[in-house]
Amino acid sequence: MADEMTPALPGLGPIQPEASRLERALDQHIRELNDADLMTSESWVWANLVMDLARAIASSAAKGRASGAALATKPLIEAFDRLPVKDGSDFAAIMREAGFAAA
């Protein structure tokens, strides 16, 4: 998770203090991919989409709009699948870590 002492990832702004657990878990996953030198310029485009969709899901859920969260979930999974693969990276595990039921 980025804070004032942690630089933002290339192409992504710093994680906001009010970020959801989902956003924080995905931010951490993207950081791990970056630390493993797996990110390409195309990966950063997908990473931005992943974070935008996670933000949309969190916003919809906070407003009690289950349909909005549901509509963004499939595109989030599809965008996540376009990120580089790191041993042990698993969307369902990230969703569980973020406090969601198994995806």
Whether the per-residue pLDDT at 1 is higher than 80: the answer is no
Q: What are phi and psi of 4, to 5 degrees?
A: -65, -20
Give the structural domain span for 25.
21-97
Q: Decide if 102 is inside a domain.
A: no
pLDDT of residue 44: 92
Q: Decide if 37 is inside a domain.
A: yes
Q: Decide if 1 is inside a domain.
A: no
Looking at the structure of the chain, the number of domains it has is 1
Are 75 and 43 contacting, i.e. CB atoms less than 8 angstroms apart?
no
Q: Decide if 45 is inside a domain.
A: yes
- 2 versus 37: which is more confidently predicted? 37
Q: Decide if 12 is inside a domain.
A: no
Q: Decide if 10 is inside a domain.
A: no
Alpha carbons 70 and 12: distance in angstroms, whole number? 24
The residue-averaged pLDDT of 5-34 equals 79
Per-state percent for the chain, helix, strand, coil, to nearest 5: 55, 0, 45
Is pTM beyond 0.95? Reply is: no
Nearest Cα to Cα of residue 43 among 92, 81, 88, 75: 81
Alpha carbons 82 and 1: distance in angstroms, whole number? 21
Cα within 13 Å of Cα(49), Cβ side:
17
Q: Decide if 4 is inside a domain.
A: no
